[in-house]
Amino acid sequence: MTSKIHVLHIKGISHFNKAGELLWKDKNLDNILHDEGEQYILSAAFATGYSGFGVAPDNLYLGLDTSTRTLAEADTLSLVGENSLTNGYERKALSTRGTGVSGQDFVLNQPSTFYRAESKIWTWSCINAAWTTVTKLFLCTAPSGTSGKLICTVPLSSNRTLQPGDVISAAIYIGLSK
């Protein structure tokens, strides 16, 4: 029996307009683990000298993807589309150097039969001009550009177009589960 392993999950994601009214929300969305992400996770724990991977960086980065591509395990950061920094968008830096206790970027817990690292809530605010439609959430190793590793991507259940003043908030958890 073949099962997919999911690494990144959206615990909850919401889209609010500038008046603070909820426009859309969803939760418990599963990802696709990209080849680079699989190599990254395995090398950080089991082969820290592996070329181009190895020891975990101080931060991982959470971003909003605007591409319309069909997800594939072979995807890389070069295929990710993003909004302009001048309109308030940026990848969010999630520190990996904490101890996993309350108040840090990740809290370690065991809600059922597996352990997971849960993030705090991250928020993106649209300013100046409407954003290109957001279709996915992704986790990678680079603060910007395409030089890092694309770990995993979660397609949203509904594409989101943010107008100036709109906000997207998301919390994720990372754990190995089927």
Percent of the chain having pLDDT more than 90? 52
Residue among 136, 122, 137, 128 at smallest CA distance from 166:
128
Does the structure show a pLDDT above 60 at 25? yes
Tens of pLDDT, residue by residue over 96-122, are 877 666 667 888 888 777 777 888 899
Least confident of 45-54, 87-96, 104-113, 155-164: 45-54
Cα–Cα distance list, 169 to 8, 17, 77 (Å): 16, 12, 22
Least confident of 67-81, 85-99, 101-115: 101-115
Does the structure show a pLDDT above 80 at 1? no
In DSSP terms, which residues pair with 29 in a beta bridge? Answer: 10
92 versus 173: the higher-pLDDT residue is 92
Q: For 87, which DSSP code?
A: G
The SS3 of residue 80 is: coil
Q: How confident is the model at residue 96, as a pLDDT? A: 82
Are 162 and 168 a contacting pair, CB within 8 Å?
A: yes
Q: How confident is the model at residue 53, as a pLDDT? A: 65
Overall average pLDDT of the 129-152 stretch? 94
66 versus 48: the higher-pLDDT residue is 66
Q: How confident is the model at residue 50, as a pLDDT? A: 67
Q: Which residues of 30-62 are buried (b: 16+ CB within 10 A; e: fewer)?
A: ebbbbebbebbbebbeeeeeeeebeebbebbbb
